[in-house]
Structures are given as structure tokens and as C-alpha cells.
Amino acid sequence: MASDDIAQLAESLARTQVGDGELSYKGQGLKLDTAQSAQELVQDIKEFQGLRALRLEGNTVGVEAAHAIAGALETKNQLQCCYWSDMFTGRLRSEIPAALMSLGTALMTAGARLVELDLSDNAFGPDGVRGIEALLKSTACHTLRELRLNNCGMGIGGGKILAAALTECHRQSKLVGSLFQLKVFVAGRNRLENEGATALAQAFKVLSRLAKQLFVSCTMLTPLFFMPSHCQALKHLRNVQVINFGDCLVRSQGAVAIAGALREGLPILKELNLSFGEITEDAALVVARAVQDKAQLEKLDLNGNCLGEDGCIALKEAMETMNMGDMLGSLSDDEGEDDSGDSEEDDSGDSEEEETGEPDETEENGVRKLRTVPSPPSSPRTLDMASFFSAPSPDRLLNLGAKRTQLIEQQVDVSDTSKTAVAFLKISSVYQEEPEVRRAVLESIDALLKNAFASSSFETYSFISTLMVMLGLHKIEDGTKSVPVVPGHLVALEHAVRQDYFPQEHMSMLEALVSSQAFESCASARNNLHTTLQRRISQQ
């Protein structure tokens, strides 16, 4: 009989793995549907003195069983770690929120102060996030350091609910003097899409003390999320050590936006993963330069992108030049150069027409007027920005006369960042050192950008990014075409960044962009611009 008792005790200990304040039913494959089926677990919880961690992953818990477990947890005020991933296999999605609410309410009733909460691999959807919303906002989570919600199918709605809950937890914790300092956040494979990811980005901006690790390796993020305005949230994360955007649709524009954030924030970053993101060579080089000053960096992962053989060599050489060659991860899965630009080059002859939005309009109108309105004395001599943009030249700019700045303010739609970028490039393309032309170009640039930056709705980062795309720094798939870079483009930009109207906070991103080899054909103008940007940045 004693032997049987010992064997039973050994089996029980092996099953529950009691130790160091942890009660573990991990991987038992238990199907707990009713209170009766959960009776043994409930009893173990009740009898466990000093319970600090409860592992229930790898089992399946129904609503009634969850309610019974919750009853046992209501007195466990020392509980800190809830490892509850993969806990609802085979359950209806409608069951999970009720089960989570019962468990969450019990933790709040007990006065627990959680440090870790892992609910990964539960596929509970937006409604499941509702089930933990109250818990996340409560004092039980003011002490939370690690939150794992990987592969939960939260969707856009769940992402928004989660973002609001984390923000509210931060606000409430400040009111009681116990600042919410999340260190690890994992939310991959959640179909957040742009809206959900953007909501979380805004939450992270509030949670500026987020530390240690940031994982948002969600394959459903689209390029819009990685626009500069969204990536600005990253620069507020002063204590982040790991960023994983692997297998996201980062693409070149997003990579450059991330590089801009790297220049201004993330001072103790140790690891950056931008693998399999359709990033091209030029953008990868911008990222490499952006991590140059990260003294604690241990790994940069750009594998599986679109660098091409030459791009991989260039990236390796760039990292070695910065004495960071050993920090670059493998590039063995590089997918070769992006061929998306072929179709763009095929119809490059139409780029002028598409950029102005007036294909052959002036010439056609001129022909019609000659045929239908005999000798109109004023029409051929009418000067406006459209006539200049149709065929930019120094003479045409000068012929606009003293009213050119007024015409720019009236006729260029600065609410559209693409049109503003096109106008900037066309005006600066006619730059010459001849004093009259030089003055006309720079005065026109001032009029254009003053008007644009003065508008509260003008998206400065979008303008800079679009400008760099048009200058051929990298390609995106929205049909934006590049133009040949001429010194005037960079001279005008260098002039602009010296002016008070140019936003100081965007200097770092621009400095990262103009470091690219794409401007080697205008090395002198590029170097002057780079020097001016560095000087302005040092004055911040």
C-alpha cells in the first residue's frame, strides 16, 4: 500500500512539475470541459502556497472549467506569471472570451501583480482581445514586463482594442505612481494590417519606455505601415534592444523610413531584422549607414531581400568599412535584383506627361487655337507655371517675371506631396550659376517649400520620401518614376535645408537618404548637402 502511495505521489509530481513557485500542467493534453474535469487542477492551485507561476499551455479549457479555475485563483495574490498559450484548442471562438474574462477577473480580485502574460497560439480573434481588455487596463498589469500574443488572429479590430488597452494601462499606472514599463511585446501573425499596426505604433509612442525587445513580425503588414509617418513611433522607443520586422512587406521605402527613425532613436539597439522584405540595394545601404552609430549592435539581418549579387557585395563592403562586417547576417537567401522597374522604364518616354498630369495639352491647345481662333494676340504669350512645367528651361523661369513666386503659391497644389516633389525637381533642374538664374531658382524653391511646410496638413516625411524615389534612390510599386539627377536638384535642396522653414526634426532622415551612392554623378553637390545636413543636425 505504501509503495502504491509513493508511486501515485511520484506520478502526481511528474505531472504537475511543482517547483520554485511554479505549478505546471504544460503539455498534458487535458480536455477540461466542466468544473468536475478541472477538479484536480483546481485543488492543486488551492493547496499551492506561494504560487508565482501557472503553466496551462498545451491543454484545452472550456468556459465552465475556466470559471472553476478562476475561483481557485481568486486568493493567489502572489501570482506573477501566466503561461497560457495554446490553451483553447478545439474550442469555439465564442467560448474563449468568456473563459478569458473569468480568469482575468480572478487575477484582478486576487490583487495579483503580473510580470509575464503569454496567450500566444490561441486564435481568439478580436473578441478574445475584448476578453482580456479589462485585465490589461487594471492594476494587475501595471507591473507587466512581458506580453506575448503571437498568432492570435487579432485582426484590425483586436489590434485597436489592444493598443487602447495598453495606452490606458500606461495612463492609469502614471496616476498611481507605478509607471507601466513593458519590456517584451510579441504580436506576430495577427493580421493587424495597416490600421491595427498603426494603432499599436501610436501606443508604442506613448509607451516610450518600452525596453528589451519589440517583435511585430507580422506578415500581414503592408508597405503603408512602413511609411515615414508611421515609423516615427520607433524613434521614441529609447530602451528597445531587438526589433524584428522579418517577413514583413517593408520594401525599400519602408526601410528608408526605418533608417530615419534609427538615426534619431533606439540608442541601445542590439538586433535589427529586416529580412525577406523586398528591400533593394540602395535602401539596404541606407539602413547600414543608419546603424553605424549603434554601439551595442550585434546583428543586422537583411537576408532574403532584393539586393542582387552586386548589391550583396556592396552591402558587405559598406559594413566592413564601418568595422561592422561581423554583425551582418547571412545573405545566402537573397532573391536577386528587383525587376519591378522594367515596365516603368519601357514607358519612360511618357514620364514627363504623367508627372505634369497634362499630356501634350499645351501643344494640342496651341494647335487648336491656331486653327479655330485666328491670331489670338495674348494666348501664346500667357505665362503660368503649367507652361514652365511642360518644358522647363532657365529662360521660361525668368520670363515668369517678378510674379513667379506668386504664381507658384497660387498654381502648385502643395496639399499633394507628389505634385510638390515634381514642382521642386522641375524648378531646380534649370539651376545655373549665372546670378539671375540662380536667384530665380532659389527664390522659387523658397516660395514652393515655405507654402508647403506652412500647411498643417502637409506630410513632410512623405514629401521627402517621394522626392528620394523620384531621384532614383529606390523603387516602389505605385508607379512613381525617377528622373535623372542633376546638380541643381541637390543645390536647391542644400539651400532649402539651410532655411528656417525647413523642419529641423527631419534632418536626420534626409541625411541618411543623401548618403546613398545614387548621387555619385553629382558628388560635389551631394557632399555640400551632406555637410550642411550634418551641421544642422549638430545644432539640434
pTM, rounded to two decimals: 0.58
Alpha-carbon 383 to chain mean position: 44
**Residue 535 has what pLDDT?**
87
Q: Please report whether residue 69 resides in a domain.
A: no
Report the pLDDT value the prediction gives residue 183, as an integer from 0 to 100.
Answer: 82
Is residue 269 assigned to a domain?
A: no
pLDDT at 380 over 70: no
Whether 483 maps to a domain, the answer reads yes
Q: What is the pLDDT of residue 390?
A: 86
CATH of the domain at 512: 1.25.40.200
Band (pLDDT 50/70/90 cuts) for residue 448 is: very high
Most confident of 205-209, 427-431, 506-510: 427-431
User: Is residue 63 over pLDDT 50?
Assistant: yes
Over residues 76-121, the pLDDT tens digits come to: 999 999 999 999 999 998 899 999 999 999 999 999 999 999 999 9
Is residue 219 one of the residues assigned to a domain?
no
- The grid coordinates of residue 77 equal 495574490
Residue burial 396-425, b: 16+ Cβ < 10 Å; e: rest:
bbeebeeebbebbeeebebebbbbbbbbbb
Q: Which domain holds residue 383?
A: 353-538
Q: Residue 240: what pLDDT?
A: 81
- Binned at pLDDT 50, 70 and 90, residue 403 comes out as confident
Left if phi > 0, otherwise alpha if psi is -120 to 50, otherwise beta: which for 86? Answer: left
Share of the chain above pLDDT 90, in %: 46
Bigger pLDDT: 151 vs 59: 59
Exposure string of 93-103, with b = 16+ CB inside 10 Å and e = fewer, is eebbbbbbbbb
Please say if the pLDDT value at position 340 is more than 80: no
Establish if 527 belongs to a structural domain.
Answer: yes
- Of 491, 402, 461, whose CA–CA distance to 230 is shortest? 461
Average pLDDT over the chain reads 81
φ/ψ (deg, to 5) at 27: 65, 20
Number of C-beta neighbours around residue 354 at 10 A: 14
Asked whether the predicted pLDDT for residue 150 surpasses 50, the reply is yes
Give 186-238 pLDDT, tens digit per residue.
887 787 777 887 888 888 878 765 544 554 444 444 454 565 555 767 777 77
Closest CA to 260 of 289, 283, 290: 290
Q: Quick one: pLDDT at residue 361?
A: 37
Q: How far is CA 280 from CA 335, 351, 393, 518, in A?
A: 10, 22, 33, 12
pLDDT of residue 210: 52
Examine residue 156 and state whether it is found in any structural domain, yes or no. Answer: no
How high is the pLDDT of residue 374? Answer: 36
pLDDT at 236: 74
500-509 b/e with 16+ CB inside 10 Å = b? Answer: eebeeebbbb
More confident residue, 234 or 334: 334
Mind listing the pLDDT tens digit for each residue in 469-501?
888 765 554 556 678 888 999 999 999 999 999
Q: Round to whole Å and give the CA distance between 209 and 180.
A: 8
Phi, psi of 377 (to 5 degrees): -70, -30
Sign of the torsion formed by the C-alpha atoms of 325, 327, 333 and 338: negative
Lowest-confidence region among 118-127, 252-261, 286-295, 441-450: 252-261
| β-strand pairing of 60-61 with 81-83 | unpaired
> Could you tell me if residue 236 is inside a domain?
no
pLDDT for 10 equals 45
Maximum C-alpha span of the chain: 120
Specify whether the CB–CB gap between 60 and 92 falls below 8 A. Answer: no
Cell numbers representing residue 483 in the block: 528622373
Do the strands 271-273 and 60-61 form a parallel or antiparallel pair, or are they unpaired?
A: unpaired
CB 444 within 8 A of CB 486: no
Under 8 Å between Cβ of 154 and 189: no
Does 339 fall in a domain?
A: no
Give the pLDDT score at 114: 98
The count of structural domains within the chain is 1
Q: Please check the confidence at residue 512 and state whether its pLDDT lies above 90.
A: no
Of 331 and 16, the one with more pLDDT: 331
Average pLDDT over residues 169-177: 93
- Reported as a single tens digit per residue, the pLDDT across 364-374 is 333 333 333 33
User: Locate cell 531584422: which residue?
Assistant: 273
